[in-house]
Structure 1
Amino acid sequence: MDDLKASLARPIQLAEQVIKLADEAHTCRQECQDLKAKLERVSTLLRQAARVDLYERPARRILRDTDRALDKAAALLERCCGRGFVRRFFTIVPAGSFRRASSLLDNSLGDLTWILRVSNYAANDDEGDDRDDDDDDDHIGLPPIARNEPILFLIWEQISVLQYGGLEDRADAAASVVSLARDNDRYGRLIIEEDGVPPLLRLIKEGRADAQESAALAIGLLARDPECVDLMILAGVCTSFVKILKDAPMKVQGMVAWAVSELAANHPKCQDAFLQHSVIRLLVSHLAFETVQEHSKYAVASKMSIHSVVVMDKNSQSQQQGPCSEQAATMAAKPTVGGTSTAGTSSAAAAAPGPSGAACRGPVGLAGTRQHNASISAASTRGREYEDQEIKAYLKGHAARALGTLATGNAAICKNITESRALLCFAILLEKATGDVQYNSAMALLEICRVAEDNAELRRSAFKPTSPSARAVVDQLLRVVDKADYDELLVPCIACLGCLSRTFRASETRVIGPLVRLLDDRETDVTLEAAAALAKFACTDNYLHMDHCRSIVASGGAKHLVQHVYFGEQAVQTAALILVCFLAHNVPDSEELAQAEILTVLDWAVKQGYMSQDPLIETWLPEAKIRMELYQSRVAKGYY
């Protein structure tokens, strides 16, 4: 901005010089006086511009054009100020030159008037009813500089209002920016290039709830381009979002959570920036609000031993009754996260193991239990229990979506999520929620499971069989798969079980059966995902592949696979053949495989050239055929 102020010095000085030339003109005096009147107005507007904060992007272009107009006028007036009688007599100035110079000055006047009006928007707004009637009739029209590209003018106008307008006008401008950004990607790029992001971020911090919501929506719509996301991160979008996620109306927080998911989905490199600003923790806190506390059967055991909790309870009960009663009354007056009050325990303490109906708990016990619920207490929840259920679901749905996009391919964020209570929340929401909350929870689980599939450390820490959260997740995944209703949850839940295949023990017999039954499903995507998941159980990368292969065969998988290899669509055909290869390679002596004539299937598949194009089939089909011939050639001959 200081550089912009300095660039005003030359046109101001040049305007004064040209005005003097107009007074000294000897030829075409009337035309020169007409130009002088316009030059004086230009000079006045330039001096006004030097005293206000200008919207920088259009201001620089306007000043360049104004410089050019003043240079043209100066050259013309110098010709009219020729020294000496002979020079004045022979100087010919075409009338068209004055028209062109006048037109350029008119354009500069229009541009300068426009930039001053939009830059003084706040002052004009504050004047309110004190403005004259003539001012009321004024409106910010299309400046000459934007006539060749009207959409650029619209963008400038809205951004200038976002920068300098009052709160109500800024809210309207944010809604207009949303409409422009939604129209096409080019408008979004122009908004970012014209410095539209910083005022949107300021509006998120300072505006009314509807303005904050519109600004967050605009940020999300502008995140279509990775370069744009980089610019937003540099502009401080993380800091602004953190402030909203900590303390703002729930509907605004839901929109910000959606915007986070858009930024992370379109530019995964920004995931770490959100992690560093503790956005993950805040999203988990919104997900856990009124979720975990309502389902005590899923409560995660505290790291404190049961003995220590009992000792603290006894110590607190042995204190004097007076202080206990006063403390209990004070605590009872505070609303809990779940929206109810309890005498003698906070909502955090209620979730911890041990009796929750004690008349009084000591400070040490409260600190211990609250420590394990830090993620929930991170955000302000006072009064939120009275919010409309649709608003609560709106926030939870977008928080789950944001966690899923942030977790995509990022082991550090997945570890951060799984170390919180998020897995438990996903399990509960998968069971109890509906609509977007349930679906986005399933998709977030899928992204975490995909990372865990390739990350042994995350598998061991987050999905160990003894973990209550992991057990709750697996229970809900199996419930959906076993129910086998064809809906939007079925496919991601099947994929989750496949990704977690290496976490199941050999004694875990309840997983394979439901997946095998889905091989008989009439929906192609379900059959394809079930075959792919079972292949992860049966592949040699899985330590228990022999046990899993026997379970697949024992559950009747071979007969379904034969049908899909022969008659399935190409994608299903390929997935089924890969699983057949694993079964034939790992348990070639299986009687069920012989009865299903798997060797004949492999012989047929070898002759189908298009099937061998898959790398896995190319690798495993010859070896599987050899092993089946070795172990079951006699049996196979008997069937022919």
Structure 2
Amino acid sequence: MSSIVKEILASPIQMADQVSKMAEEAQNFRQECLELKSKTEKLAGLLRQAARNSNDLYERPTRRIIDDTEQVLDKALTLVTKCRANSLIKKLFTIIPATAFRKTSMQLENSVGDVQWLLRVSATADERDDEYLGLPPIAANEPILCLIWEQVAILLSGASPEERSDAAASLVSLARDNDRYGKLIIEEGGVPPLLKLLKEGRMEGQENAARAIGLLGKDPESVEHIVNAGVCSVFSKILKEGHMKVQTVVAWAISELAGNHPKCQDHFAQNNAIRLLVSHLAFETIQEHSKYAIANKHRSIHSVVLASNNTPNANDDVEDDKQHLAVAVAHPMSGNQASNQMSNVISNTMAIKGMGQPTAGDTSKKHQHVSISGTSIKGREFEDPVTKAEMKAMAARALWMLARGNLTVCRSITESRALLCFAVLLEKGPEDVQSYSAMALMEITAVAEQQAELRRSAFKPTSPAAKAVVEQLIKIIEKEEQELLIACVRSVGNLARTFRATETRLIGPLVKLLDEREAQVCMEAAIALNKFACTENYLHENHCNAIIEAGGAKHLIQLVYFGEQMVQMPSVTLLCYIALHVPKSETLAQEEVLIVLEWCTKQAHLIDDPSIESLLPEAKSRLELYQSRGRGFR
């Protein structure tokens, strides 16, 4: 940067010398020209001092101030050149307004003040001796710009850790207050020194730097700039080696950047951020113990599901393996390692995914270490519970934003122990951890809905981790936990194509949500049920029958007639699918669904909807065919 700054300063120094020389040779307005010469020489001295200290100068204000200074010197040079006219004719035709000298003199004074401020702001605190920097004339119309320059200069000048931390905190305040200020911080080169502070500063400074970076990435262009500055590698290093309080802010910043510009998801994935975030999610959520077996006195629904789906031989292998490998599931926010209802699921997952399928001859391998977290961060077990809780919440939040619409990230998450962690955290985590975990699962299942490969690998019916996740989703839907309900309903709907024909227990809780609930909840439940009943779902007939048996037809009729428009659309669609796939149902005849569909064909806002336009006539026609036959038998 020294060479760049010297190049910037070379031209105005030459111009200042030229102005001084021309002013000395002036024939007219000599007194005024000598006054300009005096101020120009003072300015030239300051510019030479700046050139000597070019290593310490902050480039952005240097460019801005020197550009303005050059313009002023150019005007001064034009003015003193006119004053060199020595012939009578030239004197007669050279008109110089009386105000020109006053204006140029004032501009030179302003340039002197700007360069003096530049030298002070680029100096260390010791050199300034805590002198108040004041406001440079150049920033009179935009004082915030001056404040930004001052804080970034402190970050660049090698000030004390406390001063750099305070400067980062000031940038946090500015970026939080106004989006435009955030843009200015990026434009004025604030990101590289913040990253440097994040790498080299003390804990408080690192927290402020990470928070500032998260606040600066409010739009795709800004995030792109931050990523190009190298934020991904710095954040990953912090997640691996930093203090947990700093890691918490870094995880939050990742969620902000990924949320505002999804294209950066792959950059974070390439820098190992996914594995590190899952490591924090797994820490004290699922733990392995090689010496102590778990005696679970109460068989949970998870263990029943596992036992019912294992073959006798596989069962023997799992039971034999449990004698050597024990996995404890602790409360996510405490050190308690007592067993709970997830233990059988986790131990089975570890046996299948972590250790491979054991055989009778593999006894020598049964005590091998199985890595869950993927990384080991010394000392984090001694952090206070509040910090651990915040870390989990921000890790889940970051994974939520990173997973949105990204198959690569979702595959990395599901190939780790993250699904198991989400299942445990949904059951026992604090409110914010539960919320972010539910949102992360919603995004992962949304990608799985579109990608058959991910759906088959991560959510196959025999997967213990997938079973654990589904169990928790069903429990939340049955309890109607409002904070998590919509995300969980969407997740179940996204997984509609993964369930077996015998898995009908999901339908009842969803149908129940159609009965006199908030419009948003009814709409989401209807959309989820549509994914079970649609033609694309291979088991649509089984699911349609299950919906009818759960009393869905009656609720749907009420929603079609009296529901809000946002609820009407998916309700009509679902009723059409049921009529199309199980037209022989006696319940549909008793509830007079045919009359309802006839009414729908006369509603302009319904028949104009693309999703209903072709489906409604087909469903009505099919129902008429079977219901008319049925009337003859009653």
Structure 2-normalised TM-score? 0.85
Q: Does 1:62 align with 2:65?
A: yes
2:81 corresponds in structure 1 to: 78
The answer for unaligned runs of 5 or more in structure 1 is 315-336, 342-347, 355-363
Contact between 2:348 and 2:464, CA under 8 Å: does it hold in 1?
no
1:4 corresponds in structure 2 to: 5
1:270 corresponds in structure 2 to: 264
Distance change (3 Å), C-alpha of 1:30 and 1:551: same
Distance change (3 Å), C-alpha of 1:34 and 1:553: same
Range moving further from structure 2, 627-636 or 201-210: 627-636
Question: 1:107 is paired with a residue of what secondary structure?
Answer: helix
1:100 corresponds in structure 2 to: 103
1:45 corresponds in structure 2 to: 46
How far does residue 473 in structure 1 lie from its aligned partner after superposition? Answer: 0.2
Contact between 1:597 and 1:636, CA under 8 Å: does it hold in 2?
no
What are the Cα deviations for residues 64-90 of structure 1, in whole angstroms up to 9, with x where unaligned? 221222222233333444457997899
Q: Does 1:155 align with 2:173?
A: no
Q: Does 1:14 align with 2:15?
A: yes
Distance change (3 Å), C-alpha of 1:638 and 1:576: farther
Name which of 540, 546, 554 aligns with 2:549: 554
How far does residue 461 in structure 1 lie from its aligned partner after superposition? Answer: 0.2
Amino acid at match of 1:563: Q
Amino acid at match of 1:146: A
1:541 corresponds in structure 2 to: 536
Range moving further from structure 2, 186-195 or 624-633: 186-195
After superposition, residues 388-403 of structure 1 pair within 5 angstroms as: 388-403=384-399
2:181 corresponds in structure 1 to: 187
Name which of 285, 291, 304 aligns with 2:285: 291
How far does residue 369 in structure 1 lie from its aligned partner after superposition? Answer: 2.0
Question: 2:514 is paired with a residue of what secondary structure?
Answer: helix
What are the Cα deviations for residues 128-186 of structure 1, in whole angstroms up to 9, with x where unaligned? xxx7xxx55x3211111111222222222222222223322221111111121112222
Contact between 2:589 and 2:627, CA under 8 Å: does it hold in 1?
yes
Separation of aligned partners in 1, 2:566 and 2:511: 18
1:323 corresponds in structure 2 to: none
Amino acid at match of 2:265: Q
What are the Cα deviations for residues 262-282 of structure 1, in whole angstroms up to 9, with x where unaligned? 111111111111111111111
The answer for unaligned runs of 5 or more in structure 2 is 297-301, 308-313, 325-332, 338-345, 353-363
Contact between 1:352 and 1:369, CA under 8 Å: does it hold in 2?
no
How far does residue 98 in structure 1 lie from its aligned partner after superposition? Answer: 2.3
Distance change (3 Å), C-alpha of 1:365 and 1:35: farther
Separation of aligned partners in 2, 1:524 and 1:446: 20
Q: Does 1:281 align with 2:281?
A: no
Separation of aligned partners in 2, 1:259 and 1:622: 51
How far does residue 619 in structure 1 lie from its aligned partner after superposition? Answer: 1.7
How far does residue 521 in structure 1 lie from its aligned partner after superposition? Answer: 3.9
Amino acid at match of 2:532: F
Q: Does 1:378 align with 2:398?
A: no
Name which of 454, 472, 477 aligns with 1:476: 472
What are the Cα deviations for residues 399-429 of structure 1, in whole angstroms up to 9, with x where unaligned? 1111111111111111110000000000000
Q: Does 1:406 align with 2:402?
A: yes
Total equivalences in the alignment: 585
Contact between 1:349 and 1:369, CA under 8 Å: does it hold in 2?
no
2:369 corresponds in structure 1 to: 369
2:625 corresponds in structure 1 to: 630
Question: 1:520 is paired with a residue of what secondary structure?
Answer: coil
Separation of aligned partners in 2, 1:558 and 1:21: 96
How far does residue 526 in structure 1 lie from its aligned partner after superposition? Answer: 1.6
What are the Cα deviations for residues 207-243 of structure 1, in whole angstroms up to 9, with x where unaligned? 2222211221221111111111111111111111111
What are the Cα deviations for residues 520-570 of structure 1, in whole angstroms up to 9, with x where unaligned? 142222211111111110101001111111111111111111111111111
Distance change (3 Å), C-alpha of 1:618 and 1:85: closer
How far does residue 351 in structure 1 lie from its aligned partner after superposition? Answer: 10
Separation of aligned partners in 2, 1:247 and 1:158: 27
Contact between 2:207 and 2:245, CA under 8 Å: does it hold in 1?
yes
Contact between 1:57 and 1:195, CA under 8 Å: does it hold in 2?
yes
Amino acid at match of 1:450: A
Contact between 1:477 and 1:493, CA under 8 Å: does it hold in 2?
yes
Contact between 1:289 and 1:338, CA under 8 Å: does it hold in 2?
no
Amino acid at match of 2:206: Q
Q: Does 1:215 align with 2:209?
A: yes
Separation of aligned partners in 2, 1:623 and 1:89: 97
Separation of aligned partners in 1, 2:270 and 2:387: 28
How far does residue 293 in structure 1 lie from its aligned partner after superposition? Answer: 1.7
1:332 corresponds in structure 2 to: none
Amino acid at match of 2:284: E
Give the % identical residues. 57
Contact between 2:275 and 2:374, CA under 8 Å: does it hold in 1?
no
Distance change (3 Å), C-alpha of 1:367 and 1:68: farther
Range moving further from structure 2, 406-415 or 382-391: 382-391
Contact between 1:284 and 1:420, CA under 8 Å: does it hold in 2?
yes
Contact between 1:293 and 1:351, CA under 8 Å: does it hold in 2?
no
Question: 1:369 is paired with a residue of what secondary structure?
Answer: coil
1:358 corresponds in structure 2 to: none
Range moving further from structure 2, 576-585 or 111-120: 111-120
Separation of aligned partners in 2, 1:264 and 1:396: 18
Amino acid at match of 1:118: V
Distance change (3 Å), C-alpha of 1:636 and 1:529: farther
Question: 2:141 is paired with a residue of what secondary structure?
Answer: coil
How far does residue 365 in structure 1 lie from its aligned partner after superposition? Answer: 5.5
Distance change (3 Å), C-alpha of 1:630 and 1:70: same
Amino acid at match of 1:36: K
Separation of aligned partners in 2, 1:150 and 1:520: 59
1:196 corresponds in structure 2 to: 190
Structure 1-normalised TM-score? 0.85
What are the Cα deviations for residues 496-522 of structure 1, in whole angstroms up to 9, with x where unaligned? 111101110011121111111222142
After superposition, residues 119-130 of structure 1 pair within 5 angstroms as: 119-120=122-123, 124-127=124-127
How far does residue 245 in structure 1 lie from its aligned partner after superposition? Answer: 0.8
Separation of aligned partners in 1, 2:87 and 2:583: 113
Separation of aligned partners in 2, 1:377 and 1:503: 29
Contact between 1:349 and 1:366, CA under 8 Å: does it hold in 2?
no
Amino acid at match of 1:160: A
Q: Does 1:456 align with 2:459?
A: no
Name which of 107, 112, 118 aligns with 1:109: 112
Question: 1:489 is paired with a residue of what secondary structure?
Answer: helix
How far does residue 14 in structure 1 lie from its aligned partner after superposition? Answer: 2.3
2:330 corresponds in structure 1 to: none
Name which of 406, 411, 415 aligns with 1:415: 411
How far does residue 491 in structure 1 lie from its aligned partner after superposition? Answer: 1.3
Q: Does 1:176 align with 2:173?
A: no
